[in-house]
């Protein structure tokens, strides 16, 4: 755990330069706009420890699988989000000395991520070996208005000398991924072009053939007066630059504006890419830095209006939640149904930037409530479009009849996770894909989604489960063998309660969806049934037979669900009995020891109690929480949020608050000592859920929003906006109770503490907290 970020409600602030913390800060201060994103690497040369990261959405490379023993069915490759051309480069040289924070004396270093307006600022004073001192002030952002553009303002002031400063504003395409399996470079050179103050570089990914063209336009000012500079263009393979020398005067600020465009063949024809790049660049140069930044700030204000959570009385908690919301909004904007949300977003390489079940299980609720409906719909359509690949994935594993197994990790729909226990066994992810359809419809009321997209996916998933279970003569029940549940600290177990539960739920929900589409859109139903050769009577009666005869492991004595068969044979001792030096287990114990232990990586049985909360009464939830939470090490970032929500539901308010803090400041405080790899973007949605679904107890039932809130004692109040079926509602919870304001034009009825309240447009209602029992 590291705790060096200054508390502030709207800014992430680092003061003082510590090279040991640099890679963590590079992750924390990342910027992005849904189309591209970037770690907080320095503009100037840095020879110290750094993880370079520039990413362009959707651009990936299929890195050949690396495993010890090949097993049939293994994916051929692991899809990596690619480190793309470095567009921020501005080298500063004085004679033969480079400005390099690794070699010079750095004072007054300050890095600020301004979340309200969406930019990154860095300032410091550097003293070179020659004694020359420079003050640097750099500001940059990825525009959320012009998504293919970014801009940098880089100001240099000589503090104690006059003399020449050589500047080299470059784009470097000769980059690599740190996590490359075979130390290969993934980009080929296509073309370059430099003239005057403009430079363009086009590179192409190997194998996948994506073209990315990056262009820059540089201009220079002294004390904000334009200076006529003689620009020298440099064009080499995978590298372009605009270089110039300026006669610097002590105390006079030199400002370099570097506008950048980053366009890819995801959005433009390859032959039109250079022109597209020039057009974007021209547009942003014409607007100018200040206008771009003002537009950026205004666009962020609008985003915050939809998604902010305001916490009074706890700056650390406020900073934490805003940081999570900010990073989520930087990662996914929902404009493109070919894109998704990688667990590290645009902030690192680990997890390949690919799509996991995290999206459906954790991110969907956030986008449903804070963004237009289409944003979540695009996430669902992403999976719909990959259905054929999911069917092929299942075929590779021996399933048939159009059964679909969605991948654990993917870019294109093809499975590319390389660990057998996860690839073959962690199949609960299939359930999350179906659950997201249910969740989307429950929230939006858009049941027609089933007619055009949803039903086809649900049937394919139900078909998979019906083939994955088998009849046990010994138990006289259906069982599911060889499973890895959400708790990845167990492999190859039988009858993981969560997986059995979600599998049966999928078959039941598919049945319900069939009835709906048959009735509401019979022609579409017939068309679909013919397309997928659906034998409705035979298939659905078999699904019913399974769901009626499924085996669920249970401990009768404790009256709890068993995570899997035989769980109670383990040596059961709470996490509190472990030595501090054992934690985290995954860095200190052998894998074998972890597998045999009773320790749980993340919510497993509790994940099911969260998803299907209405099926289980409070006493059941309490018994299971009291048994499983003490055994849980929360070594997945996805764990604390589910526990926060469940703890809130069973009125363990202090637990809920502690889990909230852990999830919201997971990266800010580098809780798991892994922030340098990148941020835990998908679990950030879980932080939002902890407040909205946990503390405020929000959920949707029978087409109505329900709240069951409490206020953590550490806070004076919290408030947030929710978009629900075109209505914008503000919810505020303080020491007295809950205030709900209807900011829309239609009346809405909302359930608070199980009482229905009708709220007219433009009015608000208040309900007092309930007596605590």
Per DSSP bridges, beta strands 748-752 and 704-707 are: parallel
Q: If residue 50 lies in a helix (H) or strand (E), which one and from where to where?
A: none
602 contributes a contact to ligand BGC by CB under 6 A: yes
Closest residue to ligand BGC in the complex (CB): 343
C-beta separation of 370 from 698 below 8 A: no
352-371 binders of ligand BGC (CB under 6 A)? 356-358
- Site residues (CB under 6 A) for ligand BGC, limited to 213-272: none
Say if CB 307 and CB 325 are below 8 A apart: yes
Name the 3-class secondary structure at 710. Answer: coil
Q: Answer yes or no: 76 catalytic.
A: no
- Strands (E) across 432-553 are located at 470-472, 477-479
Q: In the complex, what is the shortest distance from the CB of residue 500 to ligand BGC, in angstroms, rounded to a whole number? A: 18
> Hey, what are 265's tokens?
């063949």
561 three-class SS: strand
Tell me how crowded residue 237 is: count the other CB atoms within 10 A of its CB.
11
Task: Single out the catalytic residue among 488, 539, 629, 676.
Answer: 488
- Residue 139 or 428: the one with the smaller Cβ distance to ligand BGC is 428
- Record the tokens describing residue 351, joined without a space: 């997890």
> Per-residue contact track with ligand BGC, 549 to 588, x per CB under 6 A?
----------------------------------------
DSSP 414: S
CB nearer ligand BGC, residue 171 or residue 409: 409
Which tokens sit at 771?
Answer: 């007596």
| Smallest distance from ligand BGC to CB 639, Å | 8
Provide the 3-class DSSP secondary structure of residue 762.
coil
Applying CB under 6 A, which of residues 170, 210, 323, 351 lies at the interface with ligand BGC?
A: 351
Report the relative pairing of strands 737-742 and 764-768 from DSSP bridges.
antiparallel
Closer CB to ligand BGC, 333 or 682, in the complex: 682
Nearer to ligand BGC, 22 or 496 (CB): 496
Sketch the per residue contact string, 665 through 694, with ligand BGC: x for CB under 6 A, - otherwise. -----------------x------------
Least distance in angstroms from the C-beta of 291 to ligand BGC? 38
Q: Which of 43, 198, 360, 488 touches ligand BGC (CB under 6 A)?
A: 488
CA distances from 461 to 346, 402, 439, 512, 583 (A): 30, 9, 16, 14, 37
Q: Measure the CA–CA gap between 366 and 412, rounded to whole angstroms.
A: 24
Torsion sign (Cα): 340, 670, 3, 137? negative
> Which of these ranges, 50-58, 214-222, 349-357, 579-587, lies near ligand BGC under the rule CB under 6 A?
349-357
Shortest distance, CB of residue 636 to ligand BGC, whole angstroms?
4
Question: How many whole angstroms from its chain centre is CA 729?
Answer: 25
Q: Which of residues 610-639 bind ligand BGC (CB under 6 A)?
A: 636, 638
Helix (H), strand (E) at residue 620: helix 618-628
Which tokens belong to 257? 């504006």
Closest to 507 in 3D by CA, of 460, 454, 472, 555: 460
Does residue number 343 form part of the binding site for ligand BGC (CB under 6 A)?
yes
Closest to ligand BGC by CB, 672 vs 723, is 672
Minimal distance, residue 683 CB to ligand BGC, in Å: 7
Instruction: Quote the least distance from Cβ 385 to ligand BGC, whole Å.
Output: 21
Helix (H, G, I), strand (E, B) or coil at 150: strand
# binding residues, ligand BGC (CB under 6 A): 12
Do residues 85 and 76 touch, judged by C-beta distance below 8 A? no
Q: Considering the complex, state which of residue 65 and residue 586 has its C-beta at the smaller distance from ligand BGC.
A: 586
**Residue 491, interface with ligand BGC (CB under 6 A)?**
no
Side-chain half-sphere of 42: how many Cα atoms within 13 Å?
A: 24
Measured between alpha carbons, how far is residue 96 from residues 172, 198, 541 in Å? 21, 26, 79
Query: Shortest Cβ distance from residue 681 to ligand BGC (Å)?
Result: 9
- Contact region with ligand BGC (CB under 6 A), list: 351-359, 533-541, 576-584, 748-756: 351-359
Q: Minimum Å distance from CB 642 to ligand BGC? A: 11
Stretch that binds ligand BGC, among 350-358, 372-380, 582-590, 712-720 (CB under 6 A): 350-358
Would you count residue 172 as binding ligand BGC (CB under 6 A)? Answer: no
Closest CA to 193 of 281, 252, 115, 108: 281
State yes or no: residue 30 binds ligand BGC (CB under 6 A): no
Active site residues: 488
Chain residues binding ligand BGC by CB under 6 A are 343, 351, 356-358, 486, 488, 601-602, 636, 638, 682
């Amino acid at each position: 755990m590291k705790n060096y970020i200054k508390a502030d409600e709207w800014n992430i602030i680092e003061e003082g330069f510590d090279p040991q913390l640099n890679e963590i800060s590079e992750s924390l201060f990342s910027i992005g706009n849904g189309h591209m994103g970037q770690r907080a690497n320095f503009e100037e040369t840095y020879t110290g420890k750094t993880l370079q990261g520039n990413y362009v959405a959707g651009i990936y490379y299929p890195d050949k699988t690396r495993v010890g023993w090949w097993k049939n069915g293994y994916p051929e490759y692991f899809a990596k989000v690619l480190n793309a051309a470095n567009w921020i480069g501005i080298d500063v040289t004085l004679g033969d000395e480079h400005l390099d924070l690794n070699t010079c004396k750095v004072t007054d270093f300050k890095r600020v991520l301004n979340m309200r307006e969406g930019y990154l600022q860095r300032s410091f004073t550097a003293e070179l070996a020659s004694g020359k001192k420079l003050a640097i002030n750099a500001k940059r952002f990825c525009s959320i208005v012009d998504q293919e553009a970014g801009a940098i303002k880089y100001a240099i002031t000589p503090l104690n000398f006059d003399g020449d400063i050589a500047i080299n504003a470059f784009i470097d395409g000769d980059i690599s991924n740190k996590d490359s399996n075979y130390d290969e470079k993934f980009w080929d050179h296509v073309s370059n072009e430099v003239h005057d103050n403009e430079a363009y570089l086009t590179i192409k990914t190997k194998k996948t053939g994506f073209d990315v063209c990056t262009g820059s336009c540089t201009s220079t000012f002294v004390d904000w007066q334009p200076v006529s500079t003689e620009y020298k263009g440099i064009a080499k393979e995978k590298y372009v630059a605009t270089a110039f020398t300026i006669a610097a005067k002590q105390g006079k600020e030199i400002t370099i504006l570097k506008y950048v465009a980053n366009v890819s063949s995801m959005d433009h024809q390859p032959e039109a890419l250079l022109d597209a790049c020039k057009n974007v660049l021209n547009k942003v140069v014409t607007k100018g830095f200040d206008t771009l930044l003002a537009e950026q700030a205004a666009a962020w204000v609008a985003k915050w209006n939809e998604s902010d959570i305001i916490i009074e009385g706890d700056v650390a908690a406020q900073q934490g939640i805003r940081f999570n919301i900010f990073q989520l909004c930087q990662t996914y904007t929902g404009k493109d149904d070919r894109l998704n949300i990688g667990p590290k977003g645009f902030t690192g390489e680990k997890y390949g930037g690919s799509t996991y079940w995290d999206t459906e299980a954790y991110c969907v609720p956030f986008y449903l409530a804070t963004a237009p409906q289409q944003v979540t719909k695009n996430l669902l359509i992403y999976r719909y479009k990959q259905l054929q690949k999911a069917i092929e994935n299942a075929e590779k594993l021996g399933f048939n009849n159009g059964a679909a197994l969605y991948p654990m990790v993917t870019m294109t729909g093809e499975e590319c996770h390389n660990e057998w226990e996860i690839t073959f066994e962690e199949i609960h992810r299939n359930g999350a894909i179906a659950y997201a359809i249910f969740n989307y419809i429950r929230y939006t009321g858009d049941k027609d989604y089933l007619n055009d997209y949803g039903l086809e996916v649900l049937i394919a998933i139900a078909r998979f489960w019906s083939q994955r279970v088998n009849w046990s003569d010994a138990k006289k029940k259906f069982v599911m063998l060889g499973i890895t549940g959400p708790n990845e600290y167990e492999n190859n177990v039988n009858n993981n309660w969560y997986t059995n539960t979600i599998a049966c739920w999928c078959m039941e929900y598919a049945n319900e969806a069939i009835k709906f589409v048959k009735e509401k859109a019979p022609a579409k139903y017939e068309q679909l049934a013919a397309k997928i050769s659906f034998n409705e009577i035979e298939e659905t009666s078999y699904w019913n037979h399974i769901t009626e005869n499924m085996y669920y492991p249970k401990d009768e004595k404790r009256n709890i669900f068993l995570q899997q068969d035989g769980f109670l044979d383990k040596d059961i001792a709470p996490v509190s009995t472990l030595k501090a030096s054992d934690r985290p287990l995954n860095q200190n114990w052998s894998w074998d020891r972890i597998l045999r232990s009773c320790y749980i990586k993340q919510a497993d049985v509790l994940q099911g109690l969260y998803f299907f909360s209405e099926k289980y009464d409070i006493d059941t939830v309490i018994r299971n929480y009291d048994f499983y939470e003490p055994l849980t090490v929360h070594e997945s970032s996805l764990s604390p949020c589910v526990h926060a929500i469940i703890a809130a539901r069973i009125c363990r308010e202090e637990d809920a608050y502690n889990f909230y803090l852990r999830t919201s400041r997971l990266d800010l405080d580098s809780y798991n000592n892994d922030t340098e790899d990148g941020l835990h973007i998908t679990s950030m949605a879980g932080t939002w859920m902890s407040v909205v679904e946990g503390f405020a107890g929000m959920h949707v039932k029978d087409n109505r929003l329900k709240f069951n809130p409490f206020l953590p004692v550490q806070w004076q109040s919290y408030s947030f906006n929710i978009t629900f079926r075109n209505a914008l509602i503000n919810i505020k919870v303080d020491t007295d109770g809950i205030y709900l304001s209807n900011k829309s034009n239609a009346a809405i009825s909302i359930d608070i503490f199980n009482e229905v309240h009708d709220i007219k447009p433009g009015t608000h209602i208040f309900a007092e907290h309930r007596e605590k029992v």
